[in-house]
Structure 1
Amino acid sequence: MSSTLSSTLPVLVDPPVDHHDVVAWLASLDGPTWIELSGIDDQRCRVITTLLHGNEPSGLLALHRWLAERPRPQTRLAVLVANVEAALASPVLTRRIAPAGRDLNRCFRPPWADASGVLAQAIARDIVARCPECVIDVHNTSGDGPAFAVATHRDPHVEALASHFCDRLIVTDFRLGSLMELPFTHPFPPGCPVFTLECGGAMQPASVEVAIEAYRQLAEWQDVTGLEADPALEVLVHPLRVELAPGASLDYARTPQPGMDVTLWSRIDACNQGVTMPNVCLGWLGRRGLTTLQARDARGEDRIRQLLCERGGGLYPRHPLRLFMATTHVEIARSDCLFYAVPADEAHGVTDF
């Protein structure tokens, strides 16, 4: 069934879930598709996007399960299932980007000449056309770990919403072309909170529960602007992206690998929880040492030596750190980053680098 709302991408309004198997249901969609649920108040709309990365399925799994409950939201609720092509590429639900495509969550800024850029433009137009009260972009982390939210600036509305889904909010000043940056380039309603919800690792059952709770609460709340933030929410600001230097080699193992510039501990994603102390070995460096890593801030300054150090060939935090998005996937680490980090400040719950 098509919606009367003007939309660039296909729309299904109040669709039945005809497939018990989520992959069969995904394959029945005509590419990127809006799943739109009628609300008690249809003049207002809230937006959730999911599956921008084909290997981050928790938002999709939660949506499939939640739709079977036949929910009736307080407002119109529009859910975008975005990167269907990447998700269906064999082996299913394992490929971050579509074949011959780009990372869709880096395409919400120019250039838009290729298929990924065209799709990002279409998504942006459709979100703006809905005049949303809020926009939540649902993802999985690239390694195992707890759920957290990411925003582009401090905003009490974002903090209030995020604190109902997770215990930590990351405020980043990096501009990478992600969906949550759209309010900087498009006419969004004033005060509309936009943020990313990282539900945890793709293989963690708890990640689906985080996502389904986001659907339920966003559907059930009568007013998203009157929510109060949980005072226990931890806010970390201005994280650094730890990346490989150009041309550096990488592996994951329990011991240093011969010929590798960087060998990260094979379970470094365990550091996504809590504080990582300076005595924790994150991995090992080759003969070129720290020159094979970089941690540039939003101004382009390399801060790697303020963040990490080498001791006896091992890679260690220079001081207590909170790590997140630490991955054990070599290709993701090479193409994106190894992890993000901020200095820990448990006394205040807010850290600024």
Structure 2
Amino acid sequence: MEGLSLPVITDPPDDHREVEAWLQTLGGPVWLMLEGEDDRCCRVVTTLLHGNEPSGTLALHRWLVERPRPRTRLVVLLANVRGALSHPAFTHRHTPDDRDLNRCFQPPFDGPAGELAWAIIQDLEAWAPECIIDLHNTSGNGPGFAVSTRRHPVIETLTGRLCEQLVVTDLRLGSLMELPLWRPRLADCPVFTLECGGALQPAARDVAEGLYRLLAECPDLTALPAASGLEVLVHPLRVELRPGASVAYDRSPCPDVDVTLWARIDEHNRGVTTPAATLGWLGPRGLSCLQARDGEGREHVGELLCVRQGRLHARRPLRLFMATTNSDIARSDCLFYAVPFA
């Protein structure tokens, strides 16, 4: 397709080629295009924006062995190939000399990650897609869920077939799913993030493969009947460390650490977290080392969390998402997201 910033390939991997060997042949970020029976319509999946979130790529590699023929054109972005292949493979969110690509989809587009994000934006507008789904893995183990910046019938129909929860967020981080908010040519395009589950969970690959099959086999997304049972949660709060605060993970409080989170806090990514559960332990600074701001910058940490005898608890029943046990992600990104549960 003329005018695209990134290369386009049309040949799926050989039946016996390992996924890492296949990625090595790509050489960098590429679009993989599958021509459909009706190429007047294009659907886009973006994956591997984070090099340590491989389920979308692993599922694609497995599915392409079947040589699928989609009902419409299906285009898949393999973005951070360099980060994914940094040794050991699929363990680096991004290379040490670069930024988080999924925080670069807003100006200024500085550095290699910013330049790549701008190239992706231009290409997405050139594809003029019917929908865009950005595939990710959760930072910790847990069930898959979807995230969007708005409610939309197509978003809710698709997510209801792939997961049980849709989180509608007003937080703005510079992620790809925010593009319809400020790119007029994408304003009417349904865009959402599908968090498939933990990177090491086999079920996460199944969720991603289910998305590819759904997009490939459905001739009309607007005609799909709504799935029952989708839970829609609105305005999650992002619980973060304040600048300079320290974090560790253990089964008891660590000395000289501001926040010690329970070693298996990712278990709280399922179900409802009650005030009885111990999430971790806080040092002398207490809650002052944490923050939880909404989309307008207002602080809510005291409404979500409390300290009892040095232990960190939910102040009220909460749904937790993306609770990680990776201290690097906790420091550079966030500890978890929380939504009050009525």
TM-score over 0.5 for the alignment? yes
Q: Contact (CA 8 Å) 1:19, 1:25: kept in 2 or not?
A: no
2:34, 2:69 within 8 Å by CA — same for their partners in 1?
A: yes
Superposed CA deviations along residues 123-142 of structure 1, whole A, max 9, x for unmatched, are 01111101101000000000
| Count of residues in correspondence between the two structures | 342
Give 1:230 shift: 1.7
User: How far has the Cα of 1:157 moved from its partner?
Assistant: 1.9
Contact 2:12 2:67 survives alignment (8 Å)? no
- Whichever residue aligns with residue 226 of structure 1, its letter is A
**Partner in structure 2 of residue 171 of structure 1:** 168
Q: Which amino acid aligns with 2:51?
A: G
CA distance in 2, matches of 1:94, 1:262: 24
Could you tell me how far apart the structure 2 residues matched to 1:15 and 1:315 are?
Answer: 49
2:319 aligns to what SS in structure 1? strand
Aligned residue runs from structure 1 range 82-231, under 5 A: 82-188=79-185, 191-231=188-228
SS at match of 1:163: helix
Q: What are the residue-to-residue correspondences of 1:26-105 with 2, within 5 Å?
A: 26-105=23-102
SS at 1:188 equivalent: helix
Opposite residue 145 of structure 1, the aligned amino acid is G
| Offset of residue 161 of structure 1 | 1.3
CA contact (8 A) 2:12 2:65 kept: no
Is the Cα contact below 8 Å between 2:181 and 2:187 reproduced in 1? no
Alignment of 1:314-353 (within 5 A): 314-345=311-342
Q: Alignment partner for residue 292 of structure 2, among 292, 295, 304?
A: 295
Q: Supply the distance in 1 between the matched residues of 2:60 and 2:214 (Cα, whole angstroms).
A: 13
Indicate the SS of the match to 2:133: strand
Query: Percent identity among equivalent residues?
Result: 62
The one-letter code matched in structure 1 to 2:304 is L
How many angstroms does 1:190 deviate by? 5.9
2:203 is paired with a residue of what secondary structure? helix
* 8 Å contact kept, 2:168–2:234: yes
Alignment-mate amino acid for residue 297 of structure 1: D
Unaligned 5+ segments in structure 2 are: none
Distance in 1 separating the partners of 2:13 and 2:269: 38
From 277, 282, 292, the equivalent of 2:279 is 282
> What is the alpha-carbon distance in structure 2 between the residues aligned to residue 220 and residue 227 of structure 1?
11
Distance change (3 Å), C-alpha of 1:280 and 1:221 = same
Query: How far off is 1:341 after superposition?
Result: 0.3
- What is the one-letter code of the residue matched to 1:11? V
Task: Give the AA of the match of 1:315.
Answer: L
How far apart are the structure 2 equivalents of 1:266 and 1:311?
Answer: 19
The TM-score with structure 2 as length reference comes to 0.98
Cα-to-partner distance string for 1:219-250 (whole Å, 9 max, x where unaligned):
00000122233230000000000000111110
Indicate the structure with greater helix content: 2
Distance 1:85 1:322 in 2: 34
Amino acid at match of 2:205: V
